């Protein structure tokens, strides 16, 4: 129903995680990294409350995750064009805070490489 995706508009020096698709190249992520990303995206979407979803609207929010699971640097990277819809997506991220801590081997990656969640897809 809704999937996470990458967006071309990201801050310089920032990388995102959470795209879709497959690949076997050197950029492939370890299972613990991918599993945690999926868990985070689902946890945020489970916190999303929409009273009136309008067809065709999509908002994308990205954020970092501190080693203790606290969400940091929340940013609306793609607006739906509807302020109420965008605010509902941002609220979902705030309500999901804190998240479970990232896997030990990826603690700092989740702070520097932002997770993206798409709402409305």
What is the per-residue pLDDT across 75-94, written as a single tens digit (0 to 9) for each? 999 999 999 999 999 999 99
Does a structural domain hold residue 86? yes
Structure token pair of residue 76: 């609306």
Domain of 38 in residue numbering reads as 15-119
pLDDT band at 55 (very low <50, low <70, confident <90, very high): confident
Q: Could you tell me the pTM of the whole model?
A: 0.75
Q: What is the CATH number of the domain that holds 32?
A: 3.30.1150.10
Does a structural domain hold residue 92? yes
Residue that is written with structure tokens 């492939």 in the block? 28
Q: What angle do helix axes 83-96 and 31-46 make, rounded to 10 degrees?
A: 120
Does a structural domain hold residue 1? no
pLDDT band at 64 (very low <50, low <70, confident <90, very high): very high
Count the neighbouring beta carbons within 10 Å of the beta carbon of residue 104.
8
As for how many domains the chain has, the answer is: 1
Does a structural domain hold residue 4? no
Does a structural domain hold residue 2? no
């Amino acid at each position: 129903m809704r999937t996470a995706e990458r967006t071309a508009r990201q801050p310089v020096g920032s990388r995102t995680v959470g795209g879709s698709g497959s690949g076997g190249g050197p950029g492939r992520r370890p299972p613990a990294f991918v599993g945690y990303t999926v868990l985070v995206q689902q946890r945020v979407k489970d916190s999303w409350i929409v009273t009136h979803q309008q067809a065709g609207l999509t908002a994308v929010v990205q954020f970092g995750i501190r080693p203790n699971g606290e969400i940091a640097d929340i940013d609306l990277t793609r607006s739906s064009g509807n302020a109420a819809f965008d605010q509902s997506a941002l609220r979902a991220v705030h309500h999901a805070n804190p998240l479970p801590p990232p896997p030990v081997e990826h603690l700092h990656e989740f702070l520097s490489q932002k997770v993206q969640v798409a709402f409305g897809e």
